[in-house]
Chains A and B, each alone.
Chain A
Amino acid sequence: GDSVTQMEGPVTLSEEAFLTINCTYTATGYPSLFWYVQYPGEGLQLLLKATKADDKGSNKGFEATYRKETTSFHLEKGSVQVSDSAVYFCALSDLRGGGADGLTFGKGTHLIIQP
């Protein structure tokens, strides 16, 4: 079945550091890929998405490129801020794989940014 693997956390960085959170996936069809963010005590918010190979999703300085050849969707940001501290989830939706229209999530990466 479909699966998402993302790097274990917590990831602790200093403010203005470069961020990479790795995400790889396994899917039977042609998935759409997503990054969601969860701030403390809140629900999930969509951060960015990409629906086909080589697409780049971007939002709030975060970027991720859909790499079919490496089945990856790594999240990057050039200069993180304390306000970026949250849990980040990589997810896929495999609508053409014959499965349910539900999202498959990774386990999440807790990001901590220190001033």
Chain B
Amino acid sequence: DAGVTQSPTHLIKTRGQQVTLRCSPISGHKSVSWYQQVLGQGPQFIFQYYEKEERGRGNFPDRFSARQFPNYSSELNVNALLLGDSALYLCASRLTGPTEAFFGQGTRLTVV
């Protein structure tokens, strides 16, 4: 079975632009979460979606938004990019309950 897949793997954007990152969860996993990992830090929780509904949101500005599709894949959108948005963006999928999260390889976003 394929693991969590994310695309693209690397991305360079200019300040003020908008970006969309994509994630396909493990087959059968209905919960998808997004994390931002700044270099040298631990991942920070951005969003969690379950059954296409937002179930949780971390301490991120409204420039960050996400959605989940009927096939449980997900997109993370970031508007009006800032230099500080440069990071590795990780997607994780899991079954329900206190089960382990499986992470994708991430999308490396660089804002210049």
List residues of chain A with CB under 8 Å of any chain B CB: 4, 32, 34, 36, 42-46, 49, 51, 89, 91, 93, 95, 99-108
Chain B residues closer than 8 Å to A102, beta-carbon distance: 33, 35, 45, 48, 56, 58
Closest chain B residue, CB of each to CB of A36 = B103
Interface residues of B, count at CB 8 A: 27
With known contacts A51-B98, A89-B42, A106-B42, A100–B103 Cβ distance under 8 A: no
Contact of A43 among B41, B44, B45, B105 (CB under 8 A): B105
Cross-chain contact B50 with A43 (CB below 8 angstroms): no
Chain B residues closer than 8 Å to A49, beta-carbon distance: 100
Per-position 1/0 for B60-89, Cβ under 8 A of A: 000000000000000000000000000000
- Shortest A15–chain B CB gap in Å is 26
- Give bound CA distance, A45 to B104, whole Å: 9
The answer to whether B31 has its CB under 8 Å from any CB of chain A is yes
With known contacts A106-B42, A107-B41, A108-B41, A100–B56 Cβ distance under 8 A: yes
Q: Is the interface of A mostly helix, strand, loop or mixed?
A: strand
- Shortest B21–chain A CB gap in Å is 14
List residues of chain B with CB under 8 Å of any chain A CB: 4, 31, 33, 35, 40-45, 48, 50, 55-58, 90, 92, 97-98, 100-106
Closest chain A residue, CB of each to CB of B31 = A101
Chain A residues closer than 8 Å to B103, beta-carbon distance: 36, 43-45
Cross-chain contact B98 with A32 (CB below 8 angstroms): yes
A-B contact pairs, 8 of them (CB 8 A): A43-B103, A44-B103, A46-B101, A89-B42, A101-B31, A101-B33, A101-B55, A102-B33
- Shortest A44–chain B CB gap in Å is 4
